[in-house]
Structure formats: structure tokens, C-alpha cells
Amino acid sequence: ALLKIPAGKVTNYKTIAKHIGKPKAVRSIATAIGKNPLSWFIPCHRVLRSNGELGGYHWGLKVKTTMLRFESI
């Protein structure tokens, strides 16, 4: 599901959970995404909280913000 998020676009954990047919697995999905060791190649930085907040990021929120800004140009 993460690989289908185009550069410059974002989604949230709840939407991913619904997309994969596991609408109640939001927390598990967030945990799995948070453990992604290949975050540049598997774009977990494009996933936000349902309220639009950045949420956490393995490499820090400054890096996540920078990556999102870079892609939106």
C-alpha cells in the first residue's frame, strides 16, 4: 500500500487499514510502518495521522518534513 502513494501526496494510517481490508488494525499498521528500515524507498514519510498531524518518523520529524516539502515541489 505504501508504494502506491505517489510523490507529493499523503495518506493516513486509517485509510491504509481500510485499503488492505483490515479497518481495525490501524495501530498495528502504524507500528509496522514505524519500523520500516527503508523509509526513503518505501515511502512511510507520506503517511500522516488521521487528524493531519505528522505523527512519528524513524528518522525524526525534521527529516519527514524536509522529505514531504522536497516531494511537493
Kindly list the domain boundaries of the chain, sorted by start residue.
2-72
Give the span between the Cα atoms of 2 and 10, in whole angstroms.
10
**Mean pLDDT score of the chain:** 92
Helix (H) / strand (E) element for 43: namely none
- The CATH T-level fold of domain 2-72 is Arc Repressor Mutant, subunit A (1.10.10)
The residue whose grid cell reads 518505501 is 42
Cell numbers describing residue 58? 524513524
**Catalytic annotation, residues:** 44
Which pairs count as long-range contacts for 56-60, CB under 8 Å and 24+ apart, including other chains? 58/34
pLDDT in tens, 2-32: 999 999 999 999 999 999 999 999 999 999 9
pLDDT in tens, 51-68: 999 988 888 999 999 999
